[in-house]
C-alpha cells in the first residue's frame, strides 16, 4: 500500500485531498504515488545554480514512469564563499539542518519515494542522513562537477585560486596574474573541479549504491547529466515497485565499499566526518581503526587536484567510479553482493568497467601508493584521533618534527603566515576551532593555501582541531580529538614545543614531559567561543567530537 494513501484515501482524508487539489493536482495525479523531489537549488552556490534544470528533468522521469512529483527545497552553503570569516562557522552545522528539515518534510507529507538533488559539501551527507531516517525508496542525482579552469594553458581549480593568493602575498605573482586566476579558475557551474569534499561525497554516494553510474563524475554542464536526471526520476519508480529502500542499500558492507573507494580516490578528509555520521543513521559504526585497516589494504590509484594535476572531468573520461571499483575489486576490496539503486548488485554494475586512462586511474599494480589516500593518526597530541590526506602530502613531509607556532584562531594564524612569522620547519597549531570551540569546526583552507602559495609546503606542517577543505594539500592534520575546547592536549601546546608527525606510522605526538603537561592542565582555562547565541549555541551544546563524526547528541 502506498504511504501517501494516509493523506489521499477515504472519507477522513477529504480535507487533505482538498489541500492537494489546491496545488492543482488532478484526480489522475492523486491516484499515483507521490514522490518528493528535494531540490537544493539556490542563487548563491555555483554548484547549485543549475539544479532547477535537473529538477525539471527528474520530474519528467517520474511522470514518464507513473509518479506524481512534488518539489521542496534544501539549503546549501558554499564553503569557498564562506571561507575565512564568520560564515565558515555555519558550514558544517548545515548538515544537520538539511537532514532534520528534509526528514520533517518527507514524513509530514507521507511521501511514497524521494529523489534527492544535492551537490555541495554538507548538503550531500545531510540528504543521505535524511534518506536513512525516512527510509522510503530514494535515489540521488547530484548536480555534477565544475569543469577545470585554465591559466597559462594549464588546468586550474579553486585550490589554484587560493594558492595564487599566497603567491601574490609572497611577491611571486603580480595583481594582473592574480586577476587572471580569479577570472578563469572556476569557469562553469558545478561543484569545484578537484577531488574536494563535494565531489568526494558525490563519488561515494555512487560507490555506496545510492546514485546511478556517473553521479559523481559527469560534468555539470554536460547534457548527459540531464539525461541522468531523467533516468533517476524513472528509476525511483522502479525502486518503489521493488520496495528497495535505503536500509537495503546502505548496509555495513556498502560503507566498507565506500571506504575502500575513498582510499583509492584520495578523497577529502571531510569524508571522515560524513561517512561515520551517515553510517550512524544506518546503525553502522565506522571507527578510526576500521578506516586505517582499509587504508592499509587499499592502494591509492588517483591523484586528482589538489593532490595532482587531473580533475573530475578527467576521472569521468577515465572510466569513473565504476572503473575504480572494478580495479580494486581485483584485490578483493569490493563487496559485490551489495544492492544499489540500479536494482542490480555492485558486482553486476561494475562487471564490464575498465580503466580508459591509466594516468588518471592507475592500475592496481602501479598505484601512487600501496596504502590509501587517508590516514588516521593517534598519539599524545591526539589521543582519540587526527586525520591527514596522505595522498596530498609531499614525500619529504611524511615524517616531520618541528617547533610549534600556536594560534587560537584562524585569523591569528593567517596574519602570522602572511607577515612571515611562520618559517621553514615550523608546525602551525590552530586550536579552539573544533566542533565546540569554533563553534562549528571551520575549514582552514586559507592558512593551508597560504603555506603552499608562499613555498613553505615542503617544510611547514599544520595541525588543528578544526578541519580542512578538500582543496587543502600538504602536511595538514585536522580533526584533532579531543579538541581544545573539551580539554584535549592540543589546548596545552605552547610556542616552541616540539611536535612530531609520522604519517607512515600513524602517529602524532607532543614531545613535552608529562609532568609539565600536568601542571599546564591544572592551570588551563578554556577560551570563550566566538559565537554563543542562536543556532550555534544549541549546536555547541549538542555536538559530539570530530572522531565521532561531529554528530549531535
Cα–Cα distance for residue pair 104/8, rounded to 1 Å: 19
Average pLDDT over residues 174-186: 95
User: Kindly report the CA angle at 326 between 321 and 328, in degrees rounded to 5?
Assistant: 95
Cα distances (angstroms) measured from residue 367 to each of 134, 162, 207, 303, 317: 40, 28, 20, 10, 19
**SS3 call for 385:** strand
Q: Which residue has the higher pLDDT, 219 or 289?
A: 219
Cα–Cα distance for residue pair 339/250, rounded to 1 Å: 9
Cα–Cα distance for residue pair 295/289, rounded to 1 Å: 10
Is pLDDT at 1 greater than 80 in this prediction?
A: no
Cα–Cα distance for residue pair 96/103, rounded to 1 Å: 10
Query: CB–CB of 143/50 below 8 Å?
Result: yes
Grid cell of 246 as nine digits: 535505503
Is pLDDT at 109 greater than 90 in this prediction?
A: yes
Is pLDDT at 170 greater than 90 in this prediction?
A: no
Average pLDDT over residues 316-333: 98
Of the candidates 518, 543, 337, 368, the one whose C-alpha atom is nearest the C-alpha of residue 439 is 543
Average pLDDT over residues 418-434: 96
Tell me the CA end-to-end span of the chain in Å, nearest whole number.
35
Q: Which pLDDT value is given to residue 540? A: 95
Query: CB–CB of 250/208 below 8 Å?
Result: yes
Q: What is the tens place of the pLDDT at every residue in 54-106? A: 999 999 999 999 999 999 999 999 999 998 899 999 999 999 999 999 999 99
Q: How many alpha carbons fall within 13 Å on the CB side of residue 400?
A: 25
Cα–Cα distance for residue pair 124/117, rounded to 1 Å: 8
Percent of the chain with pLDDT over 70: 100
300-335 core/surface letters (b: 16 or more CB in 10 A; e: else): bbbbbbbbbbbbbbbbbebbbbbbbbbbbbeeebbb
Cα–Cα distance for residue pair 345/128, rounded to 1 Å: 19
Cα distances (angstroms) measured from residue 508 to each of 371, 380, 399, 405: 18, 7, 10, 16
Element (H, E) at 404: strand 399-407
| Other residues' Cβ atoms within 10 Å of the Cβ of residue 64 | 13
Q: Which pLDDT value is given to residue 523? A: 95
Cα distances (angstroms) measured from residue 401 to each of 196, 397, 456, 466, 501: 28, 9, 15, 21, 6
Cα–Cα distance for residue pair 164/149, rounded to 1 Å: 14
Q: What is the tens place of the pLDDT at every residue in 9-42? A: 999 999 999 999 999 999 999 999 999 999 999 9
Query: CB–CB of 107/273 below 8 Å?
Result: no
Q: What is the tens place of the pLDDT at every residue in 488-522? A: 999 999 999 999 999 999 999 999 999 999 999 99
| Other residues' Cβ atoms within 10 Å of the Cβ of residue 459 | 18
Which residues are annotated as catalytic? 469
Query: CB–CB of 179/204 below 8 Å?
Result: no
**3-state secondary structure labels for all residues of 181-245:** HHHHCCCCCCECCCCCHHHHHHHHHHHHCCECCCCCCCCCCCHHHHHHHHHHHHHHHHHHHHCCC
| Other residues' Cβ atoms within 10 Å of the Cβ of residue 354 | 12
Grid cell of 174 as nine digits: 603580480
Q: What is the tens place of the pLDDT at every residue in 359-383? A: 999 999 999 999 999 999 999 999 9
Report, in angstroms and rounded to the nearest whole number, the Rg of the chain calculated over CA atoms: 23
pTM of the model: 0.96
Cα–Cα distance for residue pair 383/288, rounded to 1 Å: 12
- DSSP character string of 274-292: HHHHHHHHTT----HHHHH
Q: What is the tens place of the pLDDT at every residue in 335-359? A: 999 999 999 999 999 999 999 999 9
**SS3 call for 260:** helix
**SS3 call for 552:** strand
Query: CB–CB of 129/229 below 8 Å?
Result: no
**SS3 call for 171:** coil
Q: Which pLDDT value is given to residue 407? A: 97
Q: Which pLDDT value is given to residue 473? A: 87
Is pLDDT at 469 greater than 90 in this prediction?
A: no
Q: Where are the alpha helices (DSSP H) in 243-319?
A: 246-249, 252-265, 271-281, 288-297, 312-317
**3-state secondary structure labels for all residues of 511-545:** CCCHHHHHHHHHCCCCCCCCCCCHHHHHHHHHECC
Mean pLDDT, the chain, whole residue set:
96
β-partners of residue 387 are: 376, 478
Query: CB–CB of 384/487 below 8 Å?
Result: no
Is pLDDT at 544 greater than 90 in this prediction?
A: yes
Amino acid at each position: 500500500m502506498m504511504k501517501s494513501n494516509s493523506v489521499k484515501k477515504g472519507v477522513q482524508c477529504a480535507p487533505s485531498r482538498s489541500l492537494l487539489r489546491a496545488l492543482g493536482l488532478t484526480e489522475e495525479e492523486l491516484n499515483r504515488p507521490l514522490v518528493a523531489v528535494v531540490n537544493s537549488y539556490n542563487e548563491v552556490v555555483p554548484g547549485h545554480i543549475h539544479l532547477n534544470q535537473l529538477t525539471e528533468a527528474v520530474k519528467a522521469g517520474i511522470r514518464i514512469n507513473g509518479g506524481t512529483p512534488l518539489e521542496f527545497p534544501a539549503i546549501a552553503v558554499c564553503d569557498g564563499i564562506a571561507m575565512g570569516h564568520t560564515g565558515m562557522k555555519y558550514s558544517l552545522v548545515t548538515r544537520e539542518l538539511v537532514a532534520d528539515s528534509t526528514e520533517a518534510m518527507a514524513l509530514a507529507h507521507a511521501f511514497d519515494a524521494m529523489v534527492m538533488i544535492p551537490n555541495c559539501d554538507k548538503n550531500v551527507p545531510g540528504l543521505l542522513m535524511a534518506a536513512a531516517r525516512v527510509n522510503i525508496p530514494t535515489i540521488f542525482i547530484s548536480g555534477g562537477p565544475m569543469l577545470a579552469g585554465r591559466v597559462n594553458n594549464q588546468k586550474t581549480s579553486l585550490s589554484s585560486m587560493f594558492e595564487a593568493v599566497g603567491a601574490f602575498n609572497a611577491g611571486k605573482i603580480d595583481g594582473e596574474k592574480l586577476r587572471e586566476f580569479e577570472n578563469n579558475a572556476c569557469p562553469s557551474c558545478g561543484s569545484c573541479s578537484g577531488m574536494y569534499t563535494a565531489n568526494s561525497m558525490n563519488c561515494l554516494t555512487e560507490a555506496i549504491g545510492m546514485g546511478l553510474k556517473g553521479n559523481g563524475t559527469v560534468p555539470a554542464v554536460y547534457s548527459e547529466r540531464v539525461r541522468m536526471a531523467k533516468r533517476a526520476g524513472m528509476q525511483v519508480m522502479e525502486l518503489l515497485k521493488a520496495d528497495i529502500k535505503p536500509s537495503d542499500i546502505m548496509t555495513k558492507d556498502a560503507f566498507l565499499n565506500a571506504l575502500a573507494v575513498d582510499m583509492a580516490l584520495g578523497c577529502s578528509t571531510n569524508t571522515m566526518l560524513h561517512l561515520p555520521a551517515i553510517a550512524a543513521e544506518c546503525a553502522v559504526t565506522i571507527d578510526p581503526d576500521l578506516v586505517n585497516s582499509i587504508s592499509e589494504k587499499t592502494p591509492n590509484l588517483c591523484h586528482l587536484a589538489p593532490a595532482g594535476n587531473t580533475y573530475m572531468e578527467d576521472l569521468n573520461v577515465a572510466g569513473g567510479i565504476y572503473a575504480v571499483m572494478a580495479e580494486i575489486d581485483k584485490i578483493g576490496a569490493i563487496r559485490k553482493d551489495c544492492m544499489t539503486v540500479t536494482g542490480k548488485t555492485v558486482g553486476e554494475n561494475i562487471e564490464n568497467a575498465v580503466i580508459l586512462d591509466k594516468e588518471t586511474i592507475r592500475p592496481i599494480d602501479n598505484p601512487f601508493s600501496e596504502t590509501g589516500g587517508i590516514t588516521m593518526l593517534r598519539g599524545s597530541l591526539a589521543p582519540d584521533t587526527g586525520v591527514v590526506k596522505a595522498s596530498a602530502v609531499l614525500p619529504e613531509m611524511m615524517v616531520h618534527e618541528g617547533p610549534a607556532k600556536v594560534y587560537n584562531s584562524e585569523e591569528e594564524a593567517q596574519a602570522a603566515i602572511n607577515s612571515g612569522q611562520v618559517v621553514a620547519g615550523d608546525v602551525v597549531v590552530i586550536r579552539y576551532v573544533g566542533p565546540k570551540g569554533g563553534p562549528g569546526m571551520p575549514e582552514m583552507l586559507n592558512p593551508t593555501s597560504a603555506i603552499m602559495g608562499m613555498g613553505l609546503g615542503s617544510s611547514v606542517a599544520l595541525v588543528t582541531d578544526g578541519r580542512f577543505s578538500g582543496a587543502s594539500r600538504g602536511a595538514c592534520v585536522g580533526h584533532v580529538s579531543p579538541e581544545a575546547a573539551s580539554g584535549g592536549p592540543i589546548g596545552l601546546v605552547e610556542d616552541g614545543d616540539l611536535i612530531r608527525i609520522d604519517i607512515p606510522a600513524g602517529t602524532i605526538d607532543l614531545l613535552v614531559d608529562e609532568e609539565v603537561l600536568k601542571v599546564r592542565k591544572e592551570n588551563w582555562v578554556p577560551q570563550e567561543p566566538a559565537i554563543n547565541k542562536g543556532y550555534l549555541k544549541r549546536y555547541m551544546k549538542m555536538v559530539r567530537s570530530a572522531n565521532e563524526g561531529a554528530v549531535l547528541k
